[in-house]
Structure 1
Amino acid sequence: MTVQELYRQARRILEDAGLDSPDFDAGELSAHFFGLDRAGIALYGNRTPPSEAAAAFCRAVKERAARRPLQYLLGQWEFMGLTLQVGEGVLIPREDTAVLVEELAAGLRGVPAPRGLDLCAGTGAVALGLCSLLPDTEALCLELSPTALSFLKRNLDAYPQYHVQVQKADVLLPDTTLRFSHGALDFIASNPPYIEREELSQLQPEVLREPAMALDGGEDGLLFYRAIAEHWVPLLKPGGLLAVEIGETQAEQVCTIFSAHPLENIRVCQDWAGLDRVVLAVHAGAAGV
């Protein structure tokens, strides 16, 4: 079969499986296995690919139809111009998280060589994205999952021009903060687990293939926000920035949690769909954002 025939077959299979974007998925798989995206298929789709590539493509299409995430099949995903390695055991970077990175970067402009933490770092998307906007940033990624750490280290190795390091750490343990000096950081950023535990089983099939550890925010979805506010905020300098991603219905609750701590200028930012997505706050003691 030619590349074009394989693409069309894949598109039909994925459409029959009920996927939302069969054209896109089939095109991404074609680009990965054959080096031809949808535009390339229109020009060179009459080529017959090597049998090994065709077989691998067909296996991937079958797995995608069974709702294995496209990103895991490709082994990598783009985020803010960065190519990040992904796979089973690590949360897939999402476009919405760019709002967190961009808002934090805007708040740090003018701060010389800002230093801070990326809590629950996963692939390192937040820290690396921030460094792509503010290259003099120094960031330390904290991550507990051994599997996620393996992807994180590979992603950091791929961008040695950025000053990002990694440590294995449990963000929920108060003693973890003893590794750091209080009042020394310019920022703390986090895209923590924030799904309510009872809602996990209702997530899309693809999301259920992602690690529960990266999704489970406790009984009410707010477990990590409480820990960050209580144990990690003291590490910020006066005027230092706290930036967290939230679920679209959690803004009021997270703001309430933060307001009970030495944080001021608490504000909510929306994603491109107009949904609440980020909460920012300033450590009390200096002018805010």
Structure 2
Amino acid sequence: MKILEALKWGELELIKAEIENPRWDSDLLLGHVLGRRREELYLDRDGVLSATAWKAYQDLVARRTDREPLQYILNNQEFMGLGFYVDNRVLIPRADSEIIIEKLLELKERSPRPEVKIADLCTGSGALAVAIAHYRPDAYVVGTDLSSAALEVARYNALLNHVQVDWRQGDFFEPICGEEWDWLVTNPPYIPEEEYRKLAPEIFEEPQMALVGAENGLIFYRRLAEEAASLLKRDGKILMEIGWNQGQQVEELFKKSFKTRIFKDYGGRDRVVYAELSS
């Protein structure tokens, strides 16, 4: 089997399974097997696969046709220009979540401080915490998660990207209580149960506890709104990822003690709520 023939076979298998980007996925899967970049496959299109490589590629294509996410098969996802290991213990980082990092960097404190303290709640793969530690080396960064399995992945990602993060296990903000923070960031479970059941099959391979939130997806925002003032320094700030239709509801929860603003994602939908303690 030649490389180009294998790529075409994989693409057809994925088309039959109604995979969204069949050619892209086919190319990346074979590249993963051969340890080559996508463009290299086409430069060596007449190269012949070994029997071992052909079998390994068939196995990966079968996993993808079963709707296992491509990122889990490759154990890789890029986020903020950094590489992250991912598997089914953690939510796959999405590009829309990069807005939290972009805004945190954009809204950076104007006056220098001896130490900036930033906590990432519901850290999962550690994507936010690791990216913050990478792009804000002046900060002391903590990542919290209820799942010990997720924290294993997060710790590995910190090592992979050569950053220091203090990982703490516990429920939401409980591991950081009793301390004061300059920033809280979070991408909590915010999808309502009814909406979750209608999503693409690949979603069901990701940990449900990282996706689905009670009280119509608002429970974690409600908890944070009630406790955040005691967790933040006088001019402390929060950045929270939200569902596209949750902006006004989340703003309402924080309006008593915070000034708020909504930032949109790359598709023009509400995606991040910024909350700053009112003076």
TM class, shorter-length: over 0.9
How is 1:60-209 mapped onto 2 (pairs within 5 angstroms)? 60-110=60-110, 111-112=112-113, 113-160=115-162, 162-171=163-172, 176-178=175-177, 180-181=178-179, 184-209=180-205
Matched, 1:220 2:216: yes
Distance 2:109 2:65 in 1: 44
What is the rounded CA distance, in whole Å, between the counterparts of 1:53 and 1:193 in structure 2? 39
Give CA deviations for 1:157-197 in whole Å, capped at 9, x if unaligned. Answer: 2233x33110111117xx5454x32xx21100000000002
Question: Counterparts of 1:29 and 1:94 in 2: how far apart (Å)?
Answer: 20
Distance change (3 Å), C-alpha of 1:31 and 1:109: farther
1:50 aligns with 2:50: yes
Change (3 A) 1:140 1:42: same
- Supply the AA of the counterpart residue of 1:221: G
Measured after TM superposition, the shift of residue 150 of structure 1 is 1.4
1:263 corresponds to which of 238, 258, 264: 258
TM-score by length of 2: 0.94
Of the three residues 224, 231, 236, the one matched with 1:235 is 231
Runs of 4 or more, structure 1, over 6 Å off, are none
8 Å contact 2:14–2:65 — kept in the other structure?
Answer: yes
1:246-257 mapped onto 2 (5 Å cutoff): 246-257=242-253
Deviation, 1:219, is: 3.3
AA at the equivalent of 1:166: W
CA distance 1:257–1:67, change in 2 (3 Å) = same
* Contact residue 79 and residue 125 of structure 1 kept, 8 A: yes
8 Å CA contact 2:237–2:276 kept in 1: the answer is yes
Q: List alignment gaps of at least 5 residues for structure 1.
A: none
Say which SS state the counterpart of residue 156 (structure 1) adopts: helix
Q: Supply the distance in 2 between the matched residues of 1:84 and 1:169 (Cα, whole angstroms).
A: 22
In 2, Cα distance between equivalents of 1:35 and 1:166: 32
2:20 is aligned to 20
Q: Secondary structure at the match of 1:132?
A: helix
TM-score where L is the length of structure 1: 0.91
Quick check: 1:114–1:138 contact (8 Å CA) kept in 2?
Answer: yes
C-alpha distance in 2 between matches for 1:109 and 1:12:
52
SS at match of 1:224: helix
Between the two proteins, the alignment pairs up a number of residues equal to: 277
Residues 63-92 of structure 1: CA distance to partner in whole angstroms, max 9, x if unpaired?
101110000000111111111110012100
User: Matches of 2:41 and 2:172 in 1, distance apart?
Assistant: 47
Residue 146 of structure 1: CA displacement?
2.2
Cα displacement (A) at 1:244: 0.3
Q: Deviations for 1:180-223, whole angstroms, at most 9, x for unmatched residues? A: 32xx2110000000000222211110011101000111131001
C-alpha displacement of 1:135: 2.1
Q: 1:233 to 1:70 in 2, by over 3 A?
A: farther
Root mean square deviation of aligned Cα: 1.6
Question: 1:46 Cα deviation (Å)?
Answer: 1.7
How far has the Cα of 1:133 moved from its partner?
Answer: 2.4
Determine if contact 1:197/1:219 at 8 Å carries over to the other structure: no
Amino-acid identity (%):
34
Q: Any idea what SS the aligned residue of 2:268 has? A: coil
Q: How many angstroms apart in 1 are the aligned matches of 2:226 and 2:22?
A: 45
| Residue type of the alignment partner of 1:202 | K
1:87-140 CA deviation, whole Å, 9 max, x = no partner?
012100000000111111211243544211000000111111223322222110
Report if the CA contact (8 A) 2:140-2:165 is conserved.
Answer: yes
